[in-house]
């Protein structure tokens, strides 16, 4: 999957052309966050599910990169003063600290557009066919709106300083981060020509690793240190935020992560191809330290 990562990094650079134009500042701001690294989990998932279904990962590349563009836009907006007001992201100053709030806002907006532009370019549509391109782009759009990713962010903000029960926390995670991870897996399947049972299995896998990912986040927030994590620890407690850890404690949470990881791995049984990389990814996310 490290090969995928290198290809994704290069492609993300190519999708924002360098122009001698008056609006170069917003393009710079987009590049700053898009090329700031990160695990690239979502595009990797899209590529690997496409490979699993069709034998060819690369036909999903524009769609995989589109998912990462949406993820990046959501991080830029999430860090803004009117949202989480975070000065640092991935060990670097957050977008608005470098480019100012207005440019950061617009860079996020333009990254969302760029995701759809990338999926619906003449080239991408020609390569996979208009049916699959429209279906994949539609799946992404549905995943990130008011009743998807953005809805999850609103729930998160609403319960920032208010206690939430498990149902609310699950709903928040399922939307705030789960919806995009699920869309990544689903899009890979769509482009790869998967049947309905395979798409369902990919969604199950995504939901399990997505929730496990969030619980690991909650655990690391109380067990890690700022240097390892690349961001301040203890932020949930500072915000009096209800998390899986505040509800159940670290030990129970580690068990829950293991259960979810097993569930994710088992959901891959419907695929006849080699699922070892996806299994490994699920295990590595469960054991990650940052």
Query: Which residue, among 49, 61, 38, 4, has the nearest Cα to 185 in the 3D structure?
Result: 49
Please select the residue that binds a copy of itself; options are 3, 13, 18, 142, rule is CB under 8 A. Answer: 142
Instruction: Give me 255's structure tokens.
Output: 């068990």
| Residue whose CB is less far from a copy of itself, 142 or 252 | 142
- Alpha-carbon Rg for the chain, nearest whole angstrom, is 18
Please select the residue that binds a copy of itself; options are 80, 222, 229, 233, rule is CB under 8 A. Answer: 80
Q: Are 224 and 245 in contact (CB under 8 A)?
A: no
Instruction: Give me 234's structure tokens.
Output: 């203890």
Interacting span for a copy of itself (CB under 8 A) from 72-80, 257-265, 267-275, 279-287: 72-80
Interaction of residue 134 with a copy of itself, rule CB under 8 A: yes
Helix (H, G, I), strand (E, B) or coil at 178: helix
Interacting span for a copy of itself (CB under 8 A) from 40-48, 87-95, 120-128, 267-275: 120-128
* Alpha helices per DSSP H over the chain: 2-14, 24-34, 41-54, 61-79, 95-99, 101-119, 122-128, 130-144, 149-158, 166-173, 179-192, 196-223, 226-229, 235-238, 244-267, 276-287
Please select the residue that binds a copy of itself; options are 64, 106, 265, 278, rule is CB under 8 A. Answer: 106
**Binding flags for a copy of itself, 15-54, as an x/- string (CB under 8 A):** -x--x-xxx-xxx--x------------------------
Please select the residue that binds a copy of itself; options are 87, 131, 195, 274, rule is CB under 8 A. Answer: 131
Query: What is the C-alpha to C-alpha distance for residues 252 and 77, in angstroms, rounded to an integer?
Result: 32
Footprint of a copy of itself (CB under 8 A): 16, 19, 21-23, 25-27, 30, 73, 77, 80-83, 100-103, 105-110, 112-114, 116-117, 120-122, 125, 129-131, 133-135, 137-138, 140-142, 144-148, 150-155, 157-158, 168, 171-172, 175
């Amino acid at each position: 999957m490290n090969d995928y990562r290198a290809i994704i990094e290069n492609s993300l650079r190519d999708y924002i052309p360098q122009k001698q134009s008056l609006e170069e500042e917003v393009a710079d701001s987009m590049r700053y966050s898009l090329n700031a690294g990160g695990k690239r989990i979502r595009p990797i998932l899209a590529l690997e599910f496409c490979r699993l279904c069709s034998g060819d990962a690369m036909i999903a590349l524009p769609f995989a990169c589109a998912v990462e563009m949406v993820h990046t836009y959501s991080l830029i907006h999430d860090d803004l003063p009117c949202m989480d007001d975070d000065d640092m992201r991935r060990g670097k100053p957050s977008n608005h600290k470098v480019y100012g709030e207005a440019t950061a806002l617009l860079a996020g907006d333009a990254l969302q557009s760029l995701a759809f532009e990338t999926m619906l370019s003449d080239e991408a549509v020609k390569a996979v066919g208009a049916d699959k391109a429209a279906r994949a782009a539609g799946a992404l759009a549905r995943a990130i709106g008011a009743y998807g990713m953005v809805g999850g962010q609103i729930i998160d903000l609403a319960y920032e300083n208010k206690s939430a029960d498990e149902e609310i926390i699950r709903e928040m995670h399922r939307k705030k981060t789960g919806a995009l991870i699920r869309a990544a897996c689903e899009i890979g399947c769509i482009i790869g020509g998967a049947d309905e049972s395979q798409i369902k299995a990919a969604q199950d896998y995504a939901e399990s690793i997505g929730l496990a990912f969030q619980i690991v986040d909650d655990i690391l927030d109380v067990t890690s240190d700022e240097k390892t994590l690349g961001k301040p620890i203890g932020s949930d407690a500072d915000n009096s935020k209800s998390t899986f850890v505040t509800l159940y404690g670290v030990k129970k949470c580690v068990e829950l992560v293991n259960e979810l990881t097993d569930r994710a791995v088992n959901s891959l049984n419907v695929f006849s191809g080699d699922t070892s990389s996806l299994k490994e990814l699920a295990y590595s996310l469960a054991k990650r330290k940052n």
